[in-house]
Structure 1
Amino acid sequence: MDFSGKDKATYVQETFNSIAKRYDLMNTLMSFGLDKGWRRKAVYTVEARAGMHILDVCCGTGQLSMELAETVGVTGKVTGLDFSEKMLERAKDNISQSSFEPVIHLLQGDAMNLPFEENTFDGATVGWGLRNLPDLEQGIREMIRVVKPGTVVVSLDMAKPTLPVFKQGYWLYFEKLVPWMGKVWAGKAKAYQYLHDSTVEFPAQQELARIFERSGLIETRYQNLFGGVVAIVSGRKLS
């Protein structure tokens, strides 16, 4: 993957700063409006309940944070962390137009070095974020470190479908149409080419589940969504 002479962290930060304004629109278009349902499944998988404090890593524009907030309610709390200041600005705007503003706390930070004590949270999610990290396993270990024993770590991200014909159609769509859509609706074809390239390099859902296990989680599994285009990978921290 070409980072134009920059390290991955800098490239990713600049890329997401550049697409923050149209990020939610593009997600809806690219997923045919299915992304909200996928986020709800992630909330269910992390076992969020009223009164819990959940961490949302790489929270972006706050869409998953708001789904979590709806579940934990006014007695709970959601902490959303992201590297991109522009994405956080969009998150603040989105949350300010919702009823969840008192529940969600946003901060800028590095997923590779989370600014929290061990065993702080009742679970952690990351939506379309792990593939952007310079060191995938370090990012997973950090999420494990800051959640309480017995709680769940969840990743929601693009995956690799295996069904013949469907698989070929998916990759053609992602390689050719998504950058075109990025150019037309966001004016950022190169940024959406990165989304394709990063998905190609990201481990398949089966392998990511094994990485979760190798990182110290138990009960690791993956759930394919929309034919394996997207997957939820999860694991539980040892009690």
Structure 2
Amino acid sequence: MDKRTTHFGFQDVPVEEKAGRVADVFHSVAKRYDVMNDLMSFGVHRLWKRITLERSGVRKGNAVLDIAGGTGDLTRQFAKRVGPTGRVVLADINASMLNVGRDKLIDAGVGHEVEYVQANAEELPFDDNTFDCITIAFGLRNVTDKDKALRSMARVLKPGGRLLVLEFSKPTNALFEKVYDQYSFHVLPRVGQLVANDADSYRYLAESIRMHPDQATLKAMMEDAGLERVEYTNMTGGVVALHRGIKL
């Protein structure tokens, strides 16, 4: 039996248990996920995603994989950009999130243009050199083996393809970081209780953000996975960072 441990928020848990625990969190919050995103970020997550879209370079005819695509915000925009000659795959390890995303996209009139795949980012079920662009927005921090997942993403990228990782990161201002901590650990769980009837899941989300690699560490991890010209852009004072790398 594997005796290794990994972090689930601030807890140490057996490696084989983390995926199930993360799944329980997102099963719990799936139906209120969009509302909570708006409340948690004061709507700014829409700007972060818009910048990700612009930096993706996606155009007509491209093949795009949106990992941990959740409720489909990025997928919807990619479907518009690639057009009928392109391909967009929304992938998520969590069936509840995938179902909510599919329903939301179908209601928006774009569901028939999108493929839905339940998949683990560490073992993507696609051939080598398949996609022009891969995005993972606010999902990498929940992956058990991030290095393995990044290698898997690099494998399925075409030469010249781009990987974009949008994720919470480390604030660049110490005073702002203290305010952010107060908000994350005291306000956020209360909002989660009021809106989603689930304080524990949002407490985990706050903890998972603190355990995620900082900007420079994630940049090095992407380079180790075989990506080139890796760079990152801090947004909202480093609360979020967008990392971009290219497979040459």
When normalised by structure 1's length, the TM-score is 0.95
Separation of aligned partners in 1, 2:226 and 2:41 = 32
| Identity across matched positions, percent | 38
Contact 2:106 / 2:112 at 8 angstroms: preserved in 1? Answer: no
Separation of aligned partners in 2, 1:164 and 1:3 = 27
Please point out which of 4, 11, 17 is paired with 1:2: 11
Q: Match for residue 24 of structure 1?
A: 34
Separation of aligned partners in 1, 2:184 and 2:79 = 31
Q: Map residues 71-220 of structure 1 onto 2, 5 A cutoff.
A: 71-220=81-230
Deviation at 1:150, TM superposition (A): 0.9
The one-letter amino acid of 2:161's match is T
Structure 1 residues 3 and 182 mapped into 2: Cα distance closer, same or farther (>3 Å)? farther
Contact 1:3 / 1:11 at 8 angstroms: preserved in 2? Answer: no
Contact 1:155 / 1:234 at 8 angstroms: preserved in 2? Answer: yes
Pair 1:12 & 2:22 matched? yes
Deviation at 1:22, TM superposition (A): 0.3
The one-letter amino acid of 2:73's match is Q
The one-letter amino acid of 2:202's match is Y
- For the residue of structure 2 that corresponds to 1:107, the secondary structure is strand
Consecutive unaligned residues in structure 1, runs of 5 or more: none
Consecutive unaligned residues in structure 2, runs of 5 or more: 1-9
Separation of aligned partners in 1, 2:228 and 2:59 = 21
When normalised by structure 2's length, the TM-score is 0.92
- For the residue of structure 2 that corresponds to 1:48, the secondary structure is coil
Deviation at 1:168, TM superposition (A): 1.0
Q: Match for residue 225 of structure 1?
A: 235
Pick the structure with more strand per residue.
Answer: 2
Please point out which of 61, 68, 91 is paired with 1:58: 68
Contact 2:215 / 2:241 at 8 angstroms: preserved in 1? Answer: yes
1:181-231 deviation per Cα after TM superposition (whole angstroms, max 9, x unaligned): 111100111000111111111001221111111211111011111111111
Runs of 4+ residues over 4 Å off in structure 1: 3-6
